[in-house]
Structure 1
Amino acid sequence: MSTTGKPPNRNQDPEPVRTRFARLFRRRPSRAALATETSPYSKAGRMAAEGFAAGLRQAEALRTTQDDTAHWKRHADTYARERDAAYRERAQLLAWLAALHPATTVICTAADIEGETGWRLLYLVAGGWQMSWHIHPADADLFRHVTVVSPSDPRAQWDGHTTDQKYERLRGHVRLLALDGSRSDGSSSGVTAETRAAILEEAADHLVQQAAELWAPGTTAHAVMLADAAELRGLARRPPAQGSTAVRSA
C-alpha cells in the first residue's frame, strides 16, 4: 500500500484570485440602485442636495420680490411727487383767488382731519356764494395774506355745500364776470340784454341776502358785499356796450 497522500481532484474549480486592487474595478451602481439605496450616507446626500436646490429657489424668489418692490416703490415715489406738485399748484391758485377777495376770505384750523396736524380750511365768498378748500400744512406759507380766525368764527362756518356745488358756484361766478356781451376776440357771447340783466339782478339779490346772513352790519365784509350788489344792479340797468360786468374784487 502506498503511503502517499490522495492527489487532488483535477475537476475541482480553483479558488478565485482576489487582489487588493479588485475594488477599483467594481462596476458603478446604476441610478435606480442609488435611488433605492438605504445607506444613511446616501440619504444624507440626497437631503443635502434637495436643501441646496430649495435654497437656490428661495434666493431667486427673494431677488424677484426685491426687484418688484423696488419697481413699485419707484412708481409710488413718482406718483407722490406728481401729487404734491399738483397740490402746490392748486394752492398757488387758491392763494391768488383769496387775494382777489380779501374782505370775504378767512382761514382757520381744520378740525375734520384726524391723525394729522397743521391742516387749514380756507373759506371764501365770491358772487355771494361760499366756497371752501382744505390747505395742506406744506402750503400754509402761501396764505399769510389771509385773515386767520378760530373755527368758531361765523365766517368759518360751512354752509353744507358739496364739492360739486362748490365748483358749480365757481363756474357760475365765472359766467357772471363774463356777462359783458362780447368775447376777447370781439365776437358776441350770445347773451341777450334781458338775460344779462336778469342774471345780474338775481346775483345782486343773493349778495344782499348773504351779507345779512353772514356778517353783521358795519363790518367790512358786509359793506363790501352791499357795494358789490349795488354795482351789479347798476350794471343790470346799463346796456352791455356802456360798460363791463367785471365786478371789482371783494
Structure 2
Amino acid sequence: MLIAVVAGIAVGLLVAGLGGGGAILTVPVLVYALHRSPHEATASSLVIVGVSSLVGLWSHHRAGTVQWGQGALFGLVGIGGAYLGTRASRGVDGNLLLTLFAALLVVVATVMIMRAQRERDNTACVPRPLRDENGGHTFALVKVALAGTGVGLLTGFFGVGGGFAIVPALTLALGYCMPYAVGTSLLVVVINSATSLLFHSAGGADLEWDVVVPFAATAVIGAALGGRLAQRIPKRMLQLGFAVFLMCVAAYTAWRALPQLL
C-alpha cells in the first residue's frame, strides 16, 4: 500500500504540474507493483486521474488559466472517440496493450523534448478566439472535433486521461500558449476520464476500492501541491524531466510485456 501512496502523490504532481500524464505512471504501478490486470488497471486509472485532475483544475482556475467554454467543447467531442477506444481495447491482449502503451510513451516523450527545446519562459498571454485566419468558425471547429476525437480515442483505449496529448492538441488547434493549455487540459481530462469510466463500467470492469481510494486520496494531495509548484518551476525544466521519466517507464513496460508476446 506504501507504493500506492507514493505513486499517488507523484501522479497528482504530474497532473497538476503538466496538465496530465498521471495515468502514464498509474497504469504500470497498478499492473506491476500492485498486480492488477491491464484491463483492471486502465479502469482504475480513470478514477485516480480524474479525481486528481479535478483538484488540479481548481488550482489553475484560481490562477485564471482555464478556458471553460472551449475546453468543454474539446472534451465533449471526444466522447465518441473514448467509446470507440474502450470497445477496441476489450479485444486486445493485455500484453499487447501494454506494448502499444510503451510505444506511445516513446512518441510522447519525443514530442515533449522537441517542444521544450522550442519553448521559452512563460509570459502572460491570452488564447486566440475560436476562429481561423478568415474569421470563420467552420475550419476551427473541424480541427477541434478531430483533435478531441483523437484524444478521446487514446483515453478509452489506454485508460489514460489524455493530458499528454491534449496539451499539444490545444496549442495546435486553438493556438494556446502553455499556461492556458495546461490549465484547460485538466478540464478535458476530467470529462474524458468520467465518460471513459462509464464505458468501462458498462462493459463489466471491476474496481477494487481498497486500492483505488488510497491511491486517489494521495493523488489529490499531490495535485494540490502540484498546482502551486507549477507556478514556480520553469515549464521547460518540467517538460524535459517528464520526457526522461516517460522513456524510463516505456522501457520498463516494454521489458515486462514484450517477452510474453514472443
| TM-score by shorter chain over 0.5 | no
Which bracket does the TM-score occupy, shorter chain normalised? under 0.3
Q: Which protein, 1 or 2, shows the higher relative CO under an 8 Å CA cutoff with sep ≥ 6?
A: 2
TM-score (norm 2): 0.25
- Looking at secondary structure, tell me which structure has more strand per residue: 1
- Looking at secondary structure, tell me which structure has more helix per residue: 2
Q: Larger Rg: 1 or 2? A: 1
TM-score (norm 1): 0.25
